[in-house]
């Protein structure tokens, strides 16, 4: 477990999970219906502010945002 995984997981739970659904770092977020693709904009804004990065719109795809681990991999591409 690293810090980024936990920070992103905590944000996803607070922002999107409305019941007692348990989340792992590999839970499918968008294909699993936890995060709808419309709501990704908040997640993108959160990541950009938190890590002081700019994620190009064409990289912020439903596939790239589909699990905590995939999001971490995306963020690491842009963190200096």
Partner 1 sequence: MAYTEKTRGIYTEILAGLQSAGLFKQERYIHSAQDADIEVEFPAGAPLKKVINICANNYLGLSSHPEVVKAAHEGLDSHGYGMSSVRFICGTQDIHRTLEQMVTKFLGTEDTILFPSCMDANAGVFEAVLTKDDVMISDRLVHASIIDGIRLCSAMHDTYKHSDMEHLEEKLQLHDLKRLKMVITDGVFSMDGDTAKLDKMVELCEKYGALLFVDDSHSSGFIGKTGRGTHEQYGVMGKIDIITTTFGKGLGGASGGCVSGRKELVEMCRQKARPYLFSNTIAPPVVAGVIKVLEILSASTDRRDKLEKNTEFWRKGLTEAGLIIKAGDTPIVPVMLFNAKLAQDVSRDLYEEGIYAIGFFFPVVPQGQARIRTQISAGHEIHHLEKALDAFRKVGKKYDILGKSKQEIIERYGM
Nearer to partner 1 by C-beta: 5 or 51?
A: 51
User: Residue 39 Cβ, how far from partner 1 at the closest point, in Å?
Assistant: 5
52 neighbors 58 (Cβ within 8 angstroms) = no
Q: Which is nearer to partner 1, 41 or 73 (CB)?
A: 41
User: Would you give the DSSP letter of residue 19?
Assistant: S
- Asked whether 64 and 70 are in contact (CB, 8 A), the reply is yes
Nearer to partner 1, 7 or 17 (CB): 17
Positions in the binding site for partner 1 (CB under 8 A): 18, 33, 36, 38-39, 41-42, 45
How far is the C-alpha of 51 from the C-alpha of 74, rounded, in Å? 12
């Amino acid at each position: 477990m690293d810090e980024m995984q936990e920070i992103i997981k905590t944000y996803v739970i607070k922002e999107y999970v409305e019941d007692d659904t348990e989340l792992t770092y590999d839970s499918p977020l968008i294909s699993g219906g936890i995060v709808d693709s419309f709501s990704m904009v908040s997640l993108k804004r959160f990541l950009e502010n938190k890590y002081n990065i700019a994620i190009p719109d064409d990289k912020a795809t439903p596939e790239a945002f589909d699990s905590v681990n995939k999001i971490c991999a995306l963020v690491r591409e842009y963190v200096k």
